[in-house]
Structure 1
Amino acid sequence: MKVYLDNSATSWPKPEGVIKSITNLVQNYGGNPGRSGHEFSLRVARDVFDTRELVAGFIGAPSSDNIIFTSNGTHALNIAIKGILKKNDHVIVSSVEHNAVMRPLRAIEKERNLEITIVQCDSFGQINPLDIEKSFKKNTKAVITVHGSNVTGTLLPIHEIGAICKKHGVLYMVDASQSVGLIPIHMQNDCIDVLAFTGHKKLYAPPGIGCLCIGKDVVIDEHMQGGTGSNSENDFMPDFYPDKLEAGTKNTYGVVGMKASLEFILANGIENMRKEMMEKTGKMISGLKAIPGVTVYGSMNLKEKLPTISFNIAGKIPGDVAHILDKDYGIMVRAGLHCSPNAHRTIGTFPTGTVRFGLGHFNTEEEIRYALEVVAKIVASSE
């Protein structure tokens, strides 16, 4: 039996509509959007436009022009972080941020004399929004937080944080790579100025496509230069979105795949999908906690959690457990620090990390039972 429980790294399998949409583009009309006036180019351009419209409506962006297609969430965060923060700025982050946030910040910290404040989360990975507010300074430019931790699955209170940032006139940037597609987000209602996410996790789109969604009146400096199909008579980049931040040919296969994935989620209903996913997550957590010697990390409140479960087995190295799960039982997971060392420091699992089960829409009840039986066997074999 093969069981894929690494959906927090990338979702698999993909919906049939995603596969068909990409295959259709490859086989039937693979033109370059915005570059030519022929049938194929115009047809792909329509796909790109329709996908922007879908994304904007899905996450409550002020305009589809403010939806920038990127290669992934990391790419989107790099564009935003390096294009917004200036010399002597102060930025606030949580203690559970992914390296996609921390590494770009550290990369510009010295050259821009950037001041970085890390607000401590509790041992469940949760943060008190008032602790963020207490960290504000005169030169605070932005607050950056993850929406849902890729280690514990704990959801941060982005609505409350956004309201605080708005009150103080501070830009709020959210990394929603683990949550978009499963948790409703509305940029304007949640007071989010910049939203970054990838398509290949909870959206069930293919790898290689992400989005940078920009709020009203937010200015982000261009990060690269090249052809856009617009203002071609000018040596300089256009100064309007999305062209300003989309130099070069787009990943059109990823774009049509994202369109199909959004249509899949809208057809099923995001609330229905979340309800189903969290029922499975609750069974997995309860089953793991019932096994002596297993420690489960993060919030146990399913209302503030993603289907991402980190655990350890007493006396076992996480990497060894993952190897046994894969080689002996066909269960595919991720172990280690999950590119989020600060999150593991926060929950007390640094430097070895944890074993992570990442559930997806297509995981079955049978697979959950099997995984729990196998964990119990591994525990019993080490006694």
Structure 2
Amino acid sequence: MIYFDNAATTMKKPPEVVQAVVEALQSFGGVGRGVHGASLSAGMAVYEAREAVARLFGAPSAARVAFCSNATEALNVAIAGLVRPGERAVTTAASHNSVLRPLYRARAQGADVDILPVAPDASINYDALEALLERPTRLLVATHASNVTGDVYDIERMTHLAHAHGALLLVDAAQTAGVVPLDMGTMGLDLVAFTGHKSLFGPQGTGGLCVGEGVEVPRYKVGGSGIKSYDEEHPSTMPERLEAGTLNGHGIAGLAAGIAYLERVGLDAVATQTHALVERFEAGARQIEGVRILGGQADSGRCGIVALNVGDVDSAVVSAALNADFGICTRAGAHCAPLMHQALGTMDQGAVRFSFSHLNTMDEVEEGLHALSQVAAAVLKDEARAGV
């Protein structure tokens, strides 16, 4: 099996991630739920993970990192807290349903929501975005990279536009965390939502929200916090304000190990290697008859994703053949990004998404290209027969 579905979840993890989770399962008590060694060791591991996340994203401090179950929950926390009835939010059609659905809910509750279309090549018109922001806006939610095409958008320009018009910027970094550098301090980012199970090499069920200094997000969940238990209200201090219940200490330990791996290898080295895999695959795929590459025109290049279609063949047929005949794992369909597919003209066909990890190899890419060429020839032949 060759795994090219890393934009959904990285399957291959560095050995230290597995080791960290196993050790945590064997030794952790409840995080912040006792003064015995098992609880204290869990609490220390979570604190060290907060520090690692803060370093990775240039967050103001570990206290400004709230852990969530994934980027989806983090986006829900931020959007529900900051976009109230009568307020306004803006996003783009590149957004995932993790952004769109919380915004649709806010709209149903009385908020004003505008969505900037994207071009058929997946690019964004920043002048049109600025025009949208000229009306009073509370929050701009910006996807750092499309989870369909891998196009990386100019997040610094979006930050400048948002702040120039008095809006906060929330970055969906689900696809770029661990592949494309982000620094909240130097880039002026207000909030960053991230997930642990993709390019940070952590377990599923990990992620979080980094909150800039001076940005106050109201409580989303309330309940047990391990502190101020006699108070009727959930604690107001960060990070407890945005966390309730026992944290996933075991998963967070694995997430911290994934970040430590990235720090050891070097984020620049990871990005360079991932880009080389993408560049070779895209160049090779463009030479295959019937293959159409989607997107690829964004200002800042691609993250580790190449999406394509073969003729007019349903993407699920192509993806299934790649898996059944060659053991190539890809993802077909809508990728939870309906507005992007609408812009690309692939609402009915979907797309076959190849997504690469730093842990993939160039030999695997070559095997993937060989498999794609064989499948493309076969499905186009079948399509031609069906049309006779």
Q: CA deviation at 1:128?
A: 2.8
1:1-383 matched pairs, under 5 angstroms: 2-27=1-26, 29-111=27-109, 113-299=110-296, 303-381=300-378, 382-383=380-381
Which ranges of structure 2 fall in alignment gaps of 5 or more residues? 382-388
Q: How many residues align?
A: 380
Residues 300 and 122 of structure 1, relative CA distance in 2, 3 Å threshold? closer
Q: CA deviation at 1:345?
A: 1.1
Per-residue CA deviation, residues 144-164 of structure 1 (Å, 9 max, x unaligned), is 110011000000100111012
**SS of the residue aligned with 1:304?**
coil
Q: CA deviation at 1:117?
A: 1.1
Per-residue CA deviation, residues 72-91 of structure 1 (Å, 9 max, x unaligned), is 00000001100111111111
Q: CA deviation at 1:40?
A: 1.3
Residues 146 and 104 of structure 1, relative CA distance in 2, 3 Å threshold? same
- In structure 2, C-alpha distance between the alignment counterparts of 1:164 and 1:78, rounded to whole Å: 23
- In structure 2, C-alpha distance between the alignment counterparts of 1:261 and 1:198, rounded to whole Å: 12
After superposing on structure 2, the runs of 4+ consecutive aligned residues of structure 1 that deviate more than 4 Å are: 300-303
**SS of the residue aligned with 2:308?**
strand
Letter in 1 for 2:11: W
**SS of the residue aligned with 2:114?**
strand
**SS of the residue aligned with 2:164?**
helix
Q: CA deviation at 1:346?
A: 1.5
Question: Aligned-residue CA RMSD in angstroms?
Answer: 1.3
> Quick check: 1:83–1:221 contact (8 Å CA) kept in 2?
yes
> Quick check: 2:154–2:300 contact (8 Å CA) kept in 1?
no
Per-residue CA deviation, residues 144-193 of structure 1 (Å, 9 max, x unaligned), is 11001100000010011101212222111110000010111011222211
Letter in 2 for 1:248: G
- In structure 1, C-alpha distance between the alignment counterparts of 2:155 and 2:191, rounded to whole Å: 12
Letter in 1 for 2:306: I
The two structures have a TM-score, normalised by structure 2, of 0.95
**SS of the residue aligned with 1:195?**
strand
Q: CA deviation at 1:65?
A: 0.7
**SS of the residue aligned with 2:39?**
helix
- In structure 2, C-alpha distance between the alignment counterparts of 1:268 and 1:100, rounded to whole Å: 30
> Quick check: 1:129–1:157 contact (8 Å CA) kept in 2?
no
Letter in 2 for 1:87: P
Q: CA deviation at 1:300?
A: 5.7
Residues 300 and 93 of structure 1, relative CA distance in 2, 3 Å threshold? closer
- In structure 2, C-alpha distance between the alignment counterparts of 1:367 and 1:376, rounded to whole Å: 14
- In structure 1, C-alpha distance between the alignment counterparts of 2:36 and 2:320, rounded to whole Å: 52
- In structure 1, C-alpha distance between the alignment counterparts of 2:299 and 2:93, rounded to whole Å: 21
Residues 198 and 211 of structure 1, relative CA distance in 2, 3 Å threshold? same
Q: CA deviation at 1:49?
A: 0.7
- In structure 1, C-alpha distance between the alignment counterparts of 2:17 and 2:98, rounded to whole Å: 26
Letter in 2 for 1:187: M
> Quick check: 2:296–2:302 contact (8 Å CA) kept in 1?
yes
Q: CA deviation at 1:272?
A: 0.6
Q: CA deviation at 1:137?
A: 4.2
Residues 18 and 136 of structure 1, relative CA distance in 2, 3 Å threshold? same
- In structure 1, C-alpha distance between the alignment counterparts of 2:145 and 2:238, rounded to whole Å: 28
Which ranges of structure 1 fall in alignment gaps of 5 or more residues? none
> Quick check: 2:152–2:299 contact (8 Å CA) kept in 1?
no
Letter in 1 for 2:59: A
Q: CA deviation at 1:138?
A: 4.2
- In structure 2, C-alpha distance between the alignment counterparts of 1:81 and 1:269, rounded to whole Å: 32
- In structure 2, C-alpha distance between the alignment counterparts of 1:254 and 1:280, rounded to whole Å: 29
> Quick check: 1:83–1:223 contact (8 Å CA) kept in 2?
yes
> Quick check: 1:12–1:360 contact (8 Å CA) kept in 2?
no
Q: CA deviation at 1:221?
A: 1.5
Identity %: 32
Q: CA deviation at 1:104?
A: 0.8
